[in-house]
Amino acid sequence: MSKRRKGSGNSFLGTLGALVILCVILTIASRNFLTYNNLMSILKQTTFTALTSIGMLLCLITAGIDLSVGANATFCACIVGMLVNGGMKNSFVLIIVALIAGAAIGLINGLLLTRLHLPHPFVSTLGMKNFLWGAGLLVTGSQMISGFPDGVTALGVATVAGVPVSFIVVVVIYIIMHVLLTRTALGRSIYCAGGNPEATRLSGINSANVLTFCYVVSGFMAALAGIVSIGRSGICNGANAIQPYDTDAIAACVIGGASFMGGKGTMLGTMLGALIIATLRNGFALLSIDSSVQNMVLGLVIIGAVLLDVVRETMAQKARRKEAAAQA
């Protein structure tokens, strides 16, 4: 247990160090970076990725993945837009419908994996991503929709003492999820389901229910991210479903210490990963870097994060083999 905590601590310090170095570089490169307004802008930009990363982290811990988080967020925003076009102005109803829709999509993803036994969630969630892309365009008539009531946009635009309310909500959710993962039987079951499936089976844990729960949470958080996006942009647009939101979420999780092998990852590390992604994008904008170069750099970041995951896993396997040999 102490070794696991030590490894998590080293991963956290490495991620924190990367964020600090990135901030120092951008502070030198742009005089506008280290200003209050820009820092608050980074927090706003972090919110969407941070929310989609919550569900992504749960899926990665179980050795799965959810490639539909970005499309789910966009589709839920489009559902709200469709209802607004139909005359619905009750913000509470609009938000509840969006959250239910997102959770329902997550439930379908979970059931495809656990009940219909599709070989890997990569297949089902990639298919769901494309389905939601088309569905988002369909419900909005391929048009951008605006004119949302203030109650819907508040989460994306409201501030408290200059700090975005959306980021405060994210911090609260991350604290709750951290407690769930580290202090509850359900959290231990989630780690066990990804890190040691055989032990999960022998312990009598219903892994199908655990996995389904993770994908439902992923869908719910994606819907919440979709509501935040409405507030930030003032519109919904089904075409945004094809944007690389899911890759940003994956990168945030892996940078923060999660593993594609399952059984690893923390909420704190994921938050730092989301901050790194948002800071990178903010720096690109400040330095007026061409979008093609932006995509290249972000692609390299994702590749680097995956390579880091592989290196960490290889080193951990070598350490386990040495320990086993020493005990033999």
Q: Give the residue extent of every domain in the chain.
A: 10-319
pLDDT at 86 over 50: yes
- Fold classification of 10-319 (topology level): ABC transporter involved in vitamin B12 uptake, BtuC (1.10.3470)
Give phi and psi for 159, each to the nearest 5: -135, 155
Over range 193-198, report the average pLDDT.
Answer: 75
Q: Is the separation of the CB atoms in 274 and 53 below 8 Å?
A: yes
Query: pLDDT digits over 25-50, tens only?
Result: 999 999 999 999 999 999 999 999 99
Q: Which of 6-20, 71-85, 217-231, 232-246 has the lowest mean pLDDT?
A: 6-20
Model pLDDT, residue 304: 82
Q: Which two tokens stand for residue 94?
A: 């609009």
Q: How far apart are CA 40 and CA 35, in angstroms?
A: 9
Identity of residue 41: S
Model pLDDT, residue 328: 65
Q: Which two tokens stand for residue 304?
A: 């680097």
Q: Is the separation of the CB atoms in 223 and 130 below 8 Å?
A: no
Q: How far apart are CA 275 and CA 60, in angstroms?
A: 19
pLDDT at 9 over 70: no
pTM of the model: 0.91
Query: pLDDT digits over 97-107, tens only?
Result: 999 999 999 99
Among 261, 214, 278, which Cα is nearest to 57's? 214
Distances (CA, A) of 182 to 16, 131, 157, 175: 21, 35, 32, 11
